[in-house]
Amino acid sequence: MEEENKKNTEEHDILNIENLTVRFETEDGVVHAVNGIDLKLGYRKTLGLVGETGAGKTTTALAMLRLVPNPPGVVECDRLEIDGKDVRDLSVNKLEQVRGKDISMIFQDPMTALNPVFTVGEQIAESIEIHEKLSKEKSLEKAGDMLEMVGIPRQRANEYPHQFSGGMKQRVVIAIALACNPKLLIADEPTTALDVTIQAQVLELMNELKEKYNTSMIMITHDLGIVAEVCDDVAVMYAGRIVEQGSLEEVYSDTKHPYTEGLFNSLPNIKNRQRMLKPIHGLMPDPSNLPKGCAFAPRCNYATDACKEAVPKLLCVKGTHKVACSRYESDPNFVIERGKK
Amino acid sequence: MADTILEVKNLKKYFKTSRGMLHAVDDISFTVERGKTLGLVGESGCGKSTTGRAILRLIEPTSGEVIFEGKDVTKLSKKDMRHMRKDMQIIFQDPFSSLDPKKTVSQIIAEPITENKIIKGKLAIEERVLELMDTVGLAERYINTYPHELDGGRRQRIGIARALAIEPKLIVCDEPVSALDVSIQAQILNLLKELQVKLGLTYLFITHNLSVVNHFSDDIAVMYLGQIVEKAPSEELFDNPIHPYTQALLSAIPIPELGHTRQRVQLKGEITSPIEPPAECRFAKRCMQCKKEICTTHIPQLLEVKPGHFVACPLKQEELGFSIQ
């Protein structure tokens, strides 16, 4: 039986996106937030979506849930499947059956993600009531179970968000997101607003729950340390494109893209405090005015004139490891500094 | 010979609340050497920013002394304090709200110069502004732009230029890179380090980011609920943390490397309220090593357990062979 289940779920991926683009058409011009990305995520896998402010990580996630406001947002893609289901043309009613049930999202700021005028119990029960079609009492009962699962006593279900601390609020948000056992959980910087010791507790909790419920997860973060702790695969985004993608091992131990290298070099190393930081010079390009060729070329130490001409394709280098850098295409012996040691 | 530029003695800052006195900063003492950096770390609400502000008297300390170059600044009159602030400056956390949106870059940087009448004459001031912009790596073309036109990294550079404008000796850096992306964060950290060497600056570096503080500071003081629980040279603190809270804090840093297996020190329970805290170890309720008796009957005192390494944990002090009273 288990074998069979396994087979069924391995026929397709939990998430399959092809050529996703999102642009915002504003009065001041067109903002190209996401510029053609492909993403596939297997069952029970966790993908880390890494990048800096404005790289398009959150917009990508919102597009998966079809939450990009239109206007001004325009979403286009060749394929957008969640658990094998095409969600591109679903009606709003149908979509609501998918959101919260098949796919759900944890937002960055637990302080604003909760509704201040409802008790936390009611807020958790809401999605249970809608998706599992249970009575109000039964849903509240289950909401209590969920609270206990995230480590909050069920008696506190009748309290309001302001009575909880930041870490507790984020636990409530996690409880809401997991209330209906979603197959795919998108966590958008879930611990950025929290203190380190609380962050450690929340990450531990998410890891446990993910195992327990076989949830697949996309972890959006700018923190390469968190990725190393929770993710199986990594995709590094820059200016709306994926520049490097692969397993944790491939991207961390065999870094290929100059931008990924730049990110690693910008981080203080706690074991070697004498090391000088090597920041990436310059700034991320304006998404309403992207350069013609590789978007990273103006900041890249390895860039050649050719890099400024054509947008590099995301090509496979080895195994599942892909990189979008023209230097590898033109020169088979090209190695970045980090790869030399 | 140690050249102490700043000495803080028994500094307290209490706030009145409807439920009693909130002990934001509760009897802390430390010294900072000239040309060095002291990192002040701790989680939100531990009183680190309040400490920084109380030192500059941007908020009035409740009691205690702040001795800057031999003078107790808490006893100065308002006018003398203004004068004193020429030597003591601050860089704020949020480059988005700490700059006046109605002023141009040059007006913001020139303000402390004209206020303190350091340089007179329009041309001379403009020249100085350009020099400062060059020092912090801001291109000349931004001189007439407004803060909202610039990104976070550039705004933080304006904040640094403004702090440098009157050639201070001490700069309190209150989370100067927390609002910035990693690649920009590294640019600003490198800039601050360069300036320290070039201008002989002393920093009090306040942050919650442990990897940054380790990289940046000579000494580190760890704060918990208004008190310093441990203080040591950075390397010593990271190699041999003694206080259970420091241990938990250090083990919680996510490390961007593979195959990093570590024993994580888990914390339990809720944070003790800083309002009228009981006379016991404030960390006792969350501490995994807490032994009821010694931890709740003794008010922890900061003791030097090794040369330069101070710890306020009665349990550890006893373990290390110090008699506690």
DSSP states along B138-206:
--GGGTT--GGGS-HHHHHHHHHHHHHTT--SEEEEESTTTTS-HHHHHHHHHHHHHHHHHHT-EEEEE
Question: What residues contact A250, with CB distance under 8 A and at least 6 apart?
Answer: A318, A319, A320, A321
Residue B237 confidence class, pLDDT cut points 50, 70, 90: very high
Q: Chain B closest CA to A286's CA: distance in Å?
A: 11
Residue A209 confidence class, pLDDT cut points 50, 70, 90: confident
Mean pLDDT of B175-187: 85
A195, A200, A270 member nearest B208 (Cβ): A195
Q: Chain A closest CA to B211's CA: distance in Å?
A: 5
Residue A20 confidence class, pLDDT cut points 50, 70, 90: very high
By C-alpha distance, which of B210, B223, B220, B325 is closest to B282? Answer: B223
Q: Decide if pLDDT at A217 tops 50.
A: yes
Residue with tokens 């591109």: A88
Q: Is the ipTM of this complex over 0.90?
A: no
**What mean pLDDT is reported for chain B?**
89
Residue A150 confidence class, pLDDT cut points 50, 70, 90: confident
- Which comes out higher in pLDDT, residue A243 or B141? A243
Residue A7 confidence class, pLDDT cut points 50, 70, 90: very low
In tens, the pLDDT along B84-128 reads 989 999 998 888 788 999 999 999 999 999 988 888 889 999 999
A249, A279, A281 member nearest B258 (Cβ): A249
Mean pLDDT of A255-260: 95
Query: For residue A129, what are its two tokens?
Result: 């009531």
Q: Decide if pLDDT at A1 tops 50.
A: no
Contacts of B267 in chain A (CB under 8 A): 197, 201
> Which residues of A touch chain B, with CB atoms under 8 Å apart?
52-53, 165-166, 195-201, 203-204, 222-229, 248-249, 252-253, 262-270, 273, 276-281, 283-284
pLDDT number for residue A6:
47
pLDDT number for residue A233:
94
The letter for the amino acid at A201 is Q
Q: Decide if pLDDT at B1 tops 60.
A: no
Q: Chain B closest CA to A216's CA: distance in Å?
A: 21
pLDDT number for residue A165:
81
Residue with tokens 């938990």: B248
pLDDT number for residue A193:
75
Mean pLDDT of A1-25: 73
Q: Decide if pLDDT at B269 tops 80.
A: no
| Pairing mode of beta strands A29-41, A15-26 | antiparallel
